[in-house]
Structure 1
């Protein structure tokens, strides 16, 4: 309880003094970094805030990439950082379509450990008894690569899991031993996570992953492997294909010999035709699910609600490879209402208004205004100065003097075939409406992505859908009328510019939904992992244009549907007609 109170007191102190802490943070960053090669040409050794704001430019990744590459190739850290660079964090490579790597050191991992402990304290304030139980946390690592300078490079979370901050954590609350968490092989790691979690089912109080997608993937894996998992529990023997020796030994110790009764209990739940509520049925003492379910992850909220009997779904924190930002101080709020309170010790934050009429005036953290939207700039300790994250956030209020932000969208993830710009937020909202329609057919939307097809005249939007029956092993039967209605609902959800171009000027063709085979989005993930992405940090890209990615999708298309009429210029949803369905044989 002392640790809990201490962390909650930290939250109060940090948010009450946000302005002073941010000013001190910038002063410290500039004092340490002003004489780096990068900053010296703008600041001439000064750590003055006004000079920083006047002279240091706003930059994108391409602007700083040459400096990062120089350090990676063996030049001294002081090219960009006054502190030693000891590690390069790789981005997921799926949000913006390109893999990026960022210089960092142990301070990033210390910040992550602090912010995770803060999240845990906040959740404990609202939910009793979680410290006495265990967490099934689906996480694993990627192999470390080495830069020409000899420094390690891997996804940020891999670096954290291999750091002393994780190894020396005060609480061993996970159902899986560290050997499973540190396993490189995704399938072996997932199987062992589930096996350990099922064996300790009575102690499990929560299920967790970085992103909601990973939890959905875990349930799908369980659907295809539950019989083998039961066989392992029944025999007390780990499957022979688990070849990671440290994994085998540690999991065998947890398995602890034969357990016929437990295997029968699990089998009894898994043989049901419907897996609705399977999480609460397999883990009867579970209290909540923890994963990021905002932004593009919001598409998985209905799926997790189906599998968990609508357990509280907590989005604990907001972070990225570049920096950590904030925590959710209202963890039991609805997923669509999540906001993150920024923690002023994480980095120095500035904000560029995206609303019209603001003249691009850049404002400090405490000077943002409720109801306004901003693009975030990051200045950190490791070589990023006034870096444009590309994340658009809306201010929803304040916790003490620290603002609370709702994630709105990524800045550059848009669809367009003419002069319209359909944003990430537009897509997620439209697909959320359409997923409610598909539920009438007993189906669930398991994943989607899209692209602008300009090979036809006029160009049109193509959305790839992977669907699944709400019944275990149920056949996906596509109702033509329902699918066409989904196409129309999506179009009706877009803004007035899209609807006008589609309606009056015939500048945009009918929206198309292409249904793909089950497992297609797993194949997509495997492709990105083969290119260096981390399964723990993976996010299905909302928009794609890579020929390789489109080829993976196109090979799996089983049916195509088009909207059969232009959307009305008003938002009211009308009756929908029927159009032709074409199948790829």
Structure 2
């Protein structure tokens, strides 16, 4: 089962966005108007005006009881007009708890469609990708089940086991399905790297769902390259790879001893610096493909360092609730990334971001958003979500024909505050970007960060945990007090006027603090979240920490502390 996409389809979809959206809402309502959830608002009607007037804007807690009823064994029509065949689990690392969402195969059909659409767009700009393979770091967990026996998986895991993916994987990726579906993340990562190194001359792109996974893969490569070379030299997979289906298929790809290849890899990995290691080990690579917007923007400098500034392509905007859109200008600069919403995925409405009440007058349709304005998307899908608040804040950056393009700004619920000020995800990432510019003189790279507002003492203050790494492989991290204090000051100067006013004039916010942690701390943080149910493929390092267990892990790894030594100017 495969899905194809012609670039002419893009023009047709975006030119007829309004009609497609209206038709799609009619179809969704016709399918779902008599479900237990919608019947109370529509009495079986599929009229758009009645939908807009009667169906409320909701958050997850509002629909959770209906979802749980189906999960516990009640018929699908409690919430969905078509049978629910499985549930998707949100990552839970973007600032909230994990949620489950009902879906059926149509979700994966849409996912295959938007993946094919993105591939066609990229192929238009970089034609060589048609001839090569992608070294992709996908990971899947063994699905759990609901009390009624329906599978519960993460989006990526569900897609990897679908027929839509199986038909494309054998020729597009260096790793076979057995590696992608390996339930042991450590074994899967090692085998991904081994398969990619063996097929190094066929690799034209390197990819992962999120940028942090790519940086994690390079870190594993740094620690394991000698063992990988030994496997290639001998033609045997390390004994600790005990997933036998995975082991057998990788052994087949190894194809026997290859000393020449092992020598090439050893020569590159022994270099003093790992700058450009991706292009040195995979010389045909033309671009990096991963989500690098939002909280993943922190990894852009590292990916540019490791890839010799290859194009960083953030291809699609998607979630456990729906597919949203594609990046139609894939070679744009990271700061210019926008996603064109596809009108055939779900019915989209938009709530002005400065309006928390969800008033009817403040909600507009997809084609009626205004350039420059900020919105929170509301999703109505085929599977039981109606006018569902996503919690993402987007800014309209333009239009592709009649379909709007959005820049991802931040998650709505990720903020720092110790007093009356509100510091958003966007504020934090902007400040971090300015601060890391000051690290360049120290030849250090920021490998990971998170933060929290400490109000345990007065005045409260912001604490940022940084993991730093030297650019040269064998160098130790040398912390220059002057540089680190300046980083604290620059961050404070980058925050909004209210923060600077409260900090400078009222003294109700204490000096910003950076705590440098041991190398490997953020890898341990990821393992902690995965052990608590997060997906390796969907894991995103939390920008703000609110877990006492995670904070304890960070505190136990602190090497040094630095404070801003002056109040920020107004």
TM-score (norm 1): 0.95
Q: CA deviation at 1:166?
A: 1.1
Q: Deviations over 1:401-449 (max 9, x none)?
A: 0000000000110000011110000001111111111121110001111
Is residue 2:417 matched to residue 1:416?
yes
1:189-338 aligned at under 5 Å gives the runs 189-338=188-337
CA–CA distance in structure 1, aligned partners of residues 174 and 419 of structure 2: 52
| Partners of 2:149 and 2:311 in 1: CA distance | 44
Dislocated runs of 4+, deviation >4 Å:
3-6, 355-360
What CA deviation, in whole Å up to 9, does each residue of 1:280-337 have, x standing for no partner? 0001111111001011111100100000000011000000001110000000000110
**Does residue 438 of structure 1 match 2:439?**
yes
Question: Residues 274 and 455 of structure 1: is their aligned pair in 2 closer, same or farther, counting only changes over 3 Å?
Answer: same
Between the aligned partners of 1:216 and 1:466, the Cα distance in structure 2 is 13
Give CA deviations for 1:145-168 in whole Å, capped at 9, x if unaligned: 010011000111100101111123
2:540 match: secondary structure: coil
The within-5 A match list for 1:31-180 is 31-169=30-168, 172-180=171-179
User: How many residues of Structure 1 are paired with residues of Structure 2 in the alignment?
Assistant: 567
The aligned counterpart of 1:575 is none
| Whole-angstrom distance in 2 between the partners of 1:360 and 1:69 | 32
How many Å separate the matches in 1 of 2:213 and 2:9?
31
Determine the C-alpha separation between the residues in 2 that align with 1:63 and 1:210: 29
Q: Give the aligned partner of residue 490 of structure 2.
A: 489
Counterpart residue number, 1:183: 182
Given that residues 378 and 387 in structure 2 are in contact (C-alpha distance below 8 angstroms), is that contact kept between their aligned partners in structure 1?
Answer: yes
Residues 169, 176 of structure 2: 8 Å contact kept: no
Q: Which runs of 5+ in 2 are unaligned?
A: none
- Quote the Cα distance in structure 1 between the aligned partners of 2:569 and 2:409: 26
- Give the drift of 1:499: 0.1
- Kept after mapping to 2: 8 A contact 1:293/1:300: yes
> Is the CA contact (8 Å cut-off) linking 2:169 and 2:177 kept in structure 1?
no
- Distance (Å, rounded) in 1 between the aligned partners of 2:62 and 2:254: 52
- The separation in 2 between residues aligned to 1:354 and 1:221, in whole angstroms, is 40
Residue 572 of structure 1 corresponds to which residue in structure 2?
none
Q: Deviations for 1:105-158, whole angstroms, at most 9, x for unmatched residues?
A: 110101001100000000000012111111100001001101001100011110
Q: 1:332 to 1:448 in 2, by over 3 A?
A: same
Q: Is the 8 A contact 2:461 2:510 kept in 1?
A: yes
Please, which runs of 5 or more residues in structure 1 have no aligned partner?
570-585
SS in 1 for 2:438: helix
Instruction: Report the alpha carbon displacement of residue 97 of structure 1 after superposing the two structures with TM.
Output: 2.8
Show the counterpart of 2:504.
503
- 1:398 maps to 399
* 1:169 to partner: Cα distance: 2.9
- Secondary structure of the residue that 2:522 maps to in structure 1? helix
Alpha-carbon contact 1:97-1:541 (below 8 Å) kept: no
Question: What's the counterpart of residue 583 of structure 1?
Answer: none
Aligned to 1:581: none
The answer to whether the 8 A contact 2:379-2:388 is kept is: yes
- 1:546, distance to aligned residue in structure 2 (A): 1.5
3-state SS of paired residue (2:390): strand
Match of 1:389 in 2: 390
Report Cα offsets for 1:486-522 as digits up to 9, x if no partner.
0001100000000000000001111111111111111
Q: Residue 385 of structure 1: SS of its match in structure 2? A: coil
The Cα of 1:4 is off from its aligned counterpart by 11
- Deviation of 1:5 (Å): 9.6
User: RMSD of the alignment, in Å?
Assistant: 1.4
The C-alpha deviation readout for 1:184-206, integer Å capped at 9, x for no partner, is 11111111111111111111100
1:541 aligns with 2:542: yes
Q: CA offsets per residue over residues 442-500 of structure 1, 9 Å max, x none?
A: 10001111111000101111111111111113201111110000000110000000000
State the SS of the aligned residue for 1:291: strand
Distance 1:151 1:303 in 2: 40
Q: Check whether the contact 2:210–2:537 (CA below 8 A) recurs between aligned residues.
A: yes
Is 2:76–2:83's contact at 8 Å kept on the other side of the alignment?
yes
Shift of 1:527: 1.0
Give the distance between the partners of 2:539 and 2:553, measured in 1 at CA: 17
Contact 1:355 1:372 in 2 (8 A): no
Secondary structure in 2 matching 1:150:
coil
Shift of 1:544: 1.1
Q: Give the drift of 1:273.
A: 1.0
Task: Give the distance between the partners of 1:171 and 1:371, measured in 2 at CA.
Answer: 43
Per-residue deviation at 1:100?
0.9
Q: Measure, in 2, the Cα distance between the counterparts of 1:94 and 1:519.
A: 19
Match of 1:469 in 2: 470
- For residues 221-255 of structure 1, the C-alpha deviation after alignment (integer angstroms, 9 at most, x for no partner) is 10000000000000111000000001111001110
Tell me: CA distance 1:292–1:565, structure 2 relative to 1, closer, same or farther (3 Å): same
SS at match of 1:504: helix
Offset at residue 83 of structure 1 (A): 1.0
Q: Aligned-pair distance for 1:523? A: 0.9
Residue by residue over 1:349-380, the C-alpha shift from the partner in whole angstroms, topping out at 9 and shown as x without a partner, is 00001257999610000000111110010000
- Inter-partner Cα distance in structure 1 for 2:81 and 2:5: 32
CA distance in 1, matches of 2:354, 2:74: 41
Aligned to 1:479: 480
Query: Residue 180 of structure 1: CA displacement?
Result: 0.5
